[in-house]
Structure 1
Amino acid sequence: MTSFNDREKAFESQFAHDQDMQFRITARRNRLLGEWAGAKMGLTPAETDAYAKAVVQADFEEAGDEDVIRKLVGDLTSAGVEIDEPTVRAALEEQAVIARRMFIEPQ
């Protein structure tokens, strides 16, 4: 019975690690996406940093990426940047790849 308990604990530990890693990747992706949007809006480095943090926070408001996409499209449009939802979704996917590489691939 001990080996079964050990396997169960190993699976639980792996699951917790995977969840933590996914959370970190998503947060990094959102930060990179905020930096991308800040550059599009012509923000200063300090404003871009604050905006990137706000994008990370926006993801905590509701599950999924829709809240982040709505925020970016709304903010970019308000700043006079001509952008549409598919462009933001494409940027989100690009930043997800970059963020994943930052955590998974050796530096």
Structure 2
Amino acid sequence: MTAFDDREKAFEAKYRLDQEQEFKARIRRDKLLGLWAAEQMGISGDAAKTYALSVVDVEFDATDRDAGHKIVRDFIASGITLDEAAIRHQMAVLLEIAREQIVTEMGRP
């Protein structure tokens, strides 16, 4: 095995780790988003946790577009007037928080 092969394998391993980290961060973001949305709708306790998991599940359900769209629909149904741009902003903020949490948990710089 050459140094080039070693370097290539190292890059591939880093890429896989980065992809795994990003996937975990997006799932964490969706959970945080669900908890935030539940709070906005007056949902608390176990019901809030259940709602947050339903937001995470949206990413794996082909019938829905994404977590943001679910929140928009649920807010409309609950009579909450928060536009999609505000929800997308919250998603961006929560994604950064989720990334920081995942990095800390994985012990990566």
1:21 CA drift (Å): 0.3
- Structure 2 residue 98 is matched with structure 1 residue 99: yes
* Match runs of 1:76-95 below 5 Å: 76-95=75-94
CA distance in 2, matches of 1:68, 1:44: 19
* Match runs of 1:57-76 below 5 Å: 57-61=57-61, 67-76=66-75
The number of equivalent residue pairs is 104
What TM-score does the superposition give when structure 2 sets the normalisation length?
A: 0.86
Q: Who is 2:41 aligned against?
A: 41
CA distance in 2, matches of 1:58, 1:73: 13
5+ unaligned residues in a row in structure 2: which ranges?
Answer: none
Q: Structure 1 vs Structure 2: percent identity of aligned residues?
A: 37
User: 1:16-73 deviations in whole A, cap 9, x for unaligned?
Assistant: 00000000110111100000000011112111101111111112235xxx52111000
Cα RMSD, aligned residues only: 1.8
- One-letter amino acid of the counterpart of residue 43, structure 2: L
What TM-score does the superposition give when structure 1 sets the normalisation length?
A: 0.87
- One-letter amino acid of the counterpart of residue 33, structure 2: L
CA distance in 1, matches of 2:60, 2:19: 15
